[in-house]
Amino acid sequence: MNLSPIDWTIFFGMLAFLFAAIIVSRTLMKSVADFLAAGRYLLTVSSGIAMLGAITVVGNLEMNLLAGFSMSWWGMTTGVVILIMMIFGWVSYRFRQTRALTIAHFFEMRYSKSFRVYAGMLAAISGLINFGIFPSVGTRFFMYFCGLPDQFALFGLMIPTFPVIMASLLSISLYFVFAGGQIAVIITDFFQGVFINIVFVVMLLYLLWLVDWSMIQEALSAAPDNASLINPFKTSHLEDFNFWYFLIGIFGVFYGAMSWQGTQGYNASAINAHEAKMAGMLSGWRGIPQTLMLMTVPIIAYTVLNHPDFAGIASQVNGVLEGVEGEAIKSQLRVPLVLTHLLPVGLMGAFAAVMLAAFISTHDSYLHSWGSIIVQDVIMPFRKKPFTPKQHIKVLRITIIAVAIFIFFFRSEEHSPELQSH
C-alpha cells in the first residue's frame, strides 16, 4: 500500500467528521421542500464542490498534462465569459424568480405539462448515462493511488477489490443524501469544499518547492513547436485539447446555461433570485485554489515524466502503466501515479481524503438530482392525487436508491478487465 498509518488516520478522520455533520443536519430536514431544496445560503462553497468530483479532478489532471499552460490560457477566457454571465444572472436569476424546483418544472409554467415530462425524461436519461461512468473512474483512482491489491481474502475466498471499493463509496454517498436530502448534501459539501481548498493550497506550495521552476521551463520548452505547452497559438498538432475545443466550450457555457441538471438541488436552494446570482459570482473566487492546483500540478507531473533529473520516478511510473490495458486509462492514471512518488506522508493521506470528499460531493448531489427529477418531472405529473409528505419523501428515497443501483451496474462489464490489467 502507498498510504501510511498517518495517511489512513487523516483519510478516515475526515470521513468521520462528515458523518458527524450528517447526524447534526438530519434534524434540520422537516419537509419535502427541505429534502428537494435546502433553502440555505451556503451555495458559494457547496455548489462549487458539488461539481468538483473525483472524475473531474482526474479529467483535469489528464487534460492539463496533455495541453499544458496553453490549455489553461483558453480556459481562463472561458472564465471571463462565465463571470459576465454571473454578473447579469444569465438564466439563474429568472429561474429562481419562478420558484421552480427543476428546469422541467419551469418548462411546465412556460409551456405545458407534457413538455415537462419530456424534458424531465430527457434530463434523467442523459444524466444517468453520463453518471454511469463516474464510480468506476473514481474507484480506479483509489485503487492505484492507495496501492490497493486486486483481490483480498475473506473467509477463504478471494474477493475482487474493485467492486467492493466502488460499492462502499457509493453507499457512503447514498447515505449522505438518504439521511437528510439536500440540506445534508449542502452542509457536508460546504465542509468538504473548505477542506479541499486548504489541502490544494498546501499541496501546490509543497510541489512548487520540490520541483524547481527552471526544470519546469526546460521540460515545457522541449515540446514540439506546433504542440506547444506554453504558447496558446501554437497548438495545431494538439489533437484533443486545442483552440477549437475551448471555442466550442465557450459557446456551450453560454447557450446551455443551467441545462445540465446534475446540481438541480443547488439551482433551487438560494433564498431568492438575488442570492442565486451572488452565489454564482462569489463561487468564482472560491474556485481559485482549485483552478491553480488543477493547472499547475499536471505541469509538475509532466516535468517529472520528461526531465532527466527525475528519470527514476518516470521509470517507475511507466513500469506500472505498462501493465495497464487501454491508452485512455493510462492517460488518466499518469498524474496520480506521479503524485504517489512526490507527496510526503500526511499529504498523501490529505490528497486521498480530498478525492474521497470530491467523490462523495458529486455522487450525493447527482443521486439527489436525478432521483428528484425522476419523481418530480416524470412520476408526479401522471398522478391525479398528490403524495402525502411522508409518501413523497419515501418515493424520493426509493428512487435515489434505484439510481445508485443503476450506476453501480452500468459499467460492471468493464470491472474484470480493469482488475486483470493491474
Over residues 242-283, the pLDDT tens digits come to 667 777 777 877 787 777 777 777 777 677 777 777 776 666
Cell 459539501 belongs to residue: 189
Instruction: Label the pairing between strands 157-160 and 151-154.
Output: antiparallel
Least confident residue range of 3-17, 65-79, 338-352, 366-380 = 65-79
pLDDT at 399: 93
Residue 402 — pLDDT band, cuts 50, 70, 90? very high
Tens digit of each residue's pLDDT (9 = 90 or more) over 13-61: 999 998 888 887 777 666 676 666 655 545 555 555 656 777 788 887 8
Start-to-end Cα distance in the chain: 14
List residues bridging with 151 in a β-sheet.
Answer: 160
User: Do 320 and 422 contact (CB within 8 A), yes or no?
Assistant: no
pLDDT reported for residue 401: 93
The pLDDT score that the predictor gives to residue 419 is 35
Q: Cell numbers of 351, please?
A: 490528497
Buried b / exposed e over 361-386, threshold 16 CB at 10 Å, is bbbbbbbbbbbbbbbbbbbbeeeeee
> Exposed, middle or buried: residue 143 (CB in 10 Å: 0-12, 13-18, 19+)?
buried
Question: Given this model, what pLDDT does residue 181 score?
Answer: 74
Cβ burial 286-321 (10 Å sphere, 16+ → b, else e): bbebbbebbbbbbbbbbbbbbbeebeebbeebeebb
DSSP 268: T
137-141, 144-148, 324-328, 379-383: the lowest-pLDDT one = 324-328
Among 165-174, 232-241, 367-376, name the one with the lowest average pLDDT: 232-241
User: Quick check: 177 and 367 in contact, CB under 8 A?
Assistant: yes
Amino acid 183: pLDDT: 75
Rounded to a whole number, what is the largest CA-CA distance in the chain?
71
The pLDDT of residue 117: 92
What's the pLDDT at 278? 72
Separation of alpha carbons 422 and 321, rounded Å: 9
Q: Which amino acid is at 44?
A: T
Residue 414 confidence (pLDDT) above 70:
no
- Amino acid at position 107, single letter: F
| Among the listed residues 369, 385, 381, 414, the one whose alpha carbon sits nearest the alpha carbon of residue 35 | 369
How confident is the model over 88-121, as pLDDT tens digits?
777 777 888 888 878 888 888 889 989 999 999 9
Looking at residues 114-136, what average pLDDT do you find? 89
Nearest Cα neighbor of 356 from 2, 1, 14, 9 is 14
**Within 10 Å of residue 323's Cβ, how many Cβ atoms?**
10
Report pLDDT digits (tens) over 198-230.
999 999 999 999 988 888 888 888 776 666 676
DSSP 8-state code for residue 388:
P
Q: Are 402 and 371 in contact (CB under 8 A)?
A: yes
Task: Indicate the domain borders of the chain.
Answer: 5-29+42-415
- Least confident window among 55-59, 85-89, 413-417, 418-422: 418-422
**Which CATH code is given to the segment(s) 5-29+42-415?**
1.20.1730.10
Neighbours of 328 (CB within 10 A): 10
Beta bridge partners of 159: 152
The continuous run of DSSP H or E covering 209 comes out as: helix 161-210
Residues 399-416: what's their mean pLDDT?
76
User: Against a cut of 0.75, is the pTM above it?
Assistant: yes
**Cell digits of residue 232:** 496558446
pLDDT for the residue numbered 12 = 93
Q: What per-residue confidence (pLDDT) applies to 8?
A: 94
pLDDT band at 11 (very low <50, low <70, confident <90, very high): very high
pLDDT at 409 over 60: yes
Nearest to 182 by CA among 243, 102, 263: 263
Rg of the chain over all Cα atoms, to the nearest angstrom:
22
Give the confidence band of 416 by pLDDT, cuts at 50, 70, 90.
very low
Whether residue 98 contacts residue 315, with contact meaning beta carbons closer than 8 Å, is answered with: no
Q: What are the DSSP calls for 135-183, one per residue?
A: HHHHHHHHHHHTT--SEEEETTEEEEHHHHHHHHHHHHHHHHHHHHHHH
Q: Where are the alpha helices (DSSP H) in 88-112?
A: 92-97, 103-110
- What the block records as the C-alpha cell of 409 is 451496474
